[in-house]
Amino acid sequence: MNIFITGANRGIGLEFVKQYTSRGEYVLAGCRDPEKAKKLRRLLQTNHIISLDLADSNSISESVTIVKQHITHLHLFINNAGIMGKRGNPKSINQEDMLDTYSVNAVGPVILTKQLKSLMVSGAKVVNISSLMGSIEDNESGGYYAYRMSKAALNMASKNLYLELRKKGIIVLALHPGWVRTDMGGIVAPLSVKKSVSSMINVIDDAKSHQSGQFLRHDGEVLPW
């Protein structure tokens, strides 16, 4: 299986690379600074690590050109990269931070997916790593404007991509990884990155076309939009 994963130099993205390479999959990994991606370089040959900044449309196009030099078919694309934006206090929100967060978490993944579309054939899967914090129905504590709004937008993008890509037989999922111990999730998060990712890999492996367009937790439970 040919797989492309964004935000692959640390956290959940790095763990996806670890687990997929350990079972022998062909993995291409996107990250902002391949030179500094030491952990990733221990897992992949250097030319499989592709420079990608989701906030930069030229970088997105250039990464697609490189992906196409390596593969003619993409079986699984994981839009994993994401940023939190300013946390908590609603007084701390500002336009620049909100637009940056929207750009990386919602706009970049859509543009990249659409540019990769020609590589995907029937049965291919697109996985958008979303968050329960993007669920409107689940939101009872507020705050985190930039992050919540960007992930709600990513959820809408997932539904739209499902409607567009189902004509080609491509499955699209929005997946919530759980609250995971990474730089973003922090050390008090209950779920290890290993457990979250192995759980998501099971869901991705088992995903059938009737589940396409759904918002799922890492263990496959359907979540409210």
Closest by Cα among 126, 169, 133, 123 to 153: 133
C-beta closer to ligand NAP: residue 24 or 150: 150
Q: Does 96 bind ligand NAP (CB under 6 A)?
A: no
Question: Where in the chain does DSSP place strands (E)?
Answer: 2-5, 26-31, 49-51, 76-79, 125-129, 171-176, 214-217
- Does 104 engage in binding with ligand NAP (CB under 6 A)? yes
Nearest to 211 by CA among 152, 169, 171: 171
Task: Kindly tell me which of 99 and 166 has the beta carbon lying closer to ligand NAP.
Answer: 99
Nearest to 214 by CA among 181, 166, 178, 172: 172
Nearer to ligand NAP, 26 or 179 (CB): 179
Of positions 2, 53, 125, 157, contacts ligand NAP by CB under 6 A: 53
**Min separation Cβ 11 and ligand NAP, Å:** 2
Do residues 88 and 36 touch, judged by C-beta distance below 8 A?
no
Does 183 bind ligand NAP (CB under 6 A)? Our answer is yes
Residue 208, classified by CB atoms within 10 Å of its CB into exposed (0-12), middle (13-18) or buried (19+), is exposed
- Kindly tell me which residue out of 117, 184, 195, 211 binds ligand NAP, with binding defined by CB under 6 A: 184
Q: Tell me: does residue 99 bind ligand NAP (CB under 6 A).
A: no
Q: Which residues bind ligand NAP (CB under 6 A)?
A: 6-7, 9-13, 31-33, 52-55, 80-83, 104, 129, 131, 176-177, 179-180, 182-185, 189
